[in-house]
Amino acid sequence: MSENKKILQDTHGRDHAYLRISLIERCNLRCTYCMPEEGVKLSPKSHLMTYEEIYAIAKTFVKHGVTKIRLTGGEPLIRKDIPVILEKLATLPVELSITSNAVIIDKFIDVLKANGVKKINVSLDSLDATKFKHITRRHEFQKVYDNILLLVKEGFTVKVNAVLMKGFNDNEIIDFINFTKDLPISVRFIEFMPFDGNKWDMSKMVSYAEVMQYVDKAFDKNDIVRLKDAANDTSKNYKIKDYKGAFAIISSVTNPFCDSCNRLRLTANGQLKNCLFSSTESDLLTTLRAGKPIEPIIKKAVQAKFKVRGGMDTLEKLQEPKLHTNNRSMITIGG
């Protein structure tokens, strides 16, 4: 265990047991907060990790203390070898989960079950088909909605992630909460975060406090139940009394959870990011392909992790464009 801590414990005493692996930079949607309107420059196929390389890197992290792996994208399910990737990673002693836009997830129910995937996060930013089309630039609302119901029916633990944007979908907050009345799902409201090309500014963001103002106006205070957050949880969790599901707020901007962060991110082209907000990356893939150990690079990257949001420890710094436009677009980081 002491050896594990040498590699996956940072200078602030945080142990990193959760690895998010992006499998692909491509997606079958074009969400405005994730992908710039002009698109992104994709990595050449030869620069992307093969399934063998994904497994080799994941195995190294598990050896040193990672107990949870989440697969992301782009849209991970459009990668043609996703069944093989799931099968390989399922042999590791980890909790394996996935984040998807759910457009085609109905085709993978049996594959997910066969490989022990029980927890699925679905991105859905509006319950209105017209708004969905506007934000995703695609007509897939009904498919996503139906597939959420299918996942619940098939026994998966489902979280629905909604990025809130002022003047666009903040008037749907209560609709989303009421979505949990008869469904055992958790809707998670995510503060709009700055990434390259997504035209972020503070005025577009709906804060944790503002979400709760909507909730307080819509429900009796005795019916709003504060739930106990799990260890290392990114969200503040609630439910409405007698509702089957729950809701939560991920307040990365106004109320960050950095003190308990245990996450590392591996991009589809094999770069390790020690923080979602960080513009620096560490190349694991080139070293792996050279037949050299990747542990020294992992250790150095973890040790370099800032205490708060990639060094943007104030809202003033977060609003300085040059501090976050050097970061990738969200689609090439992994959700």
The domain of 164 spans 2-333
Token pair in block for residue 140: 């897939």
pLDDT for the residue numbered 330: 47
> Which residues, including other chains, have CB under 8 Å from residue 172's CB and lie 6 or more apart?
126, 127, 128, 131, 162
Q: In what order do the strands lie in the sheet with 271-273?
A: 224-226, 236-240, 246-250, 186-191, 157-164, 119-123, 95-100, 68-72, 18-22, 263-266, 271-273, 282-283
What does the alpha-carbon distance between residue 201 and residue 194 come to, in Å, rounded to a whole number? 7
pLDDT at 286: 97
End-to-end CA distance of the chain: give it in Å, rounded.
29
Q: Find the CATH number of the domain harbouring 55.
A: 3.20.20.70
Taking the complete model, does pTM exceed 0.85, yes or no? yes
| H/E run at residue 315 | helix 315-318
Distance (Å, whole) CA 17 – CA 258: 14
Cα(319)–Cα(306) distance, integer angstroms: 18
Task: Show pLDDT as tens, one digit a residue, over the chain (335 residues).
Answer: 444 558 999 999 999 999 999 999 888 776 666 656 665 677 888 999 999 999 999 999 999 999 999 999 889 999 999 999 999 999 999 999 999 999 999 999 999 999 999 999 999 999 999 999 988 877 899 999 999 999 999 999 999 999 998 888 999 999 999 999 999 999 999 987 654 444 546 677 899 999 999 999 999 999 999 999 988 888 999 999 999 999 999 987 776 668 888 999 999 999 999 988 777 899 999 999 999 999 999 999 999 998 876 656 555 555 555 554 554 454 455 55
Would you call 124 helix, strand, or coil by DSSP? coil
What is the rounded CA–CA span in Å between residue 37 and residue 180?
Answer: 32
Number of domains in the chain: 1
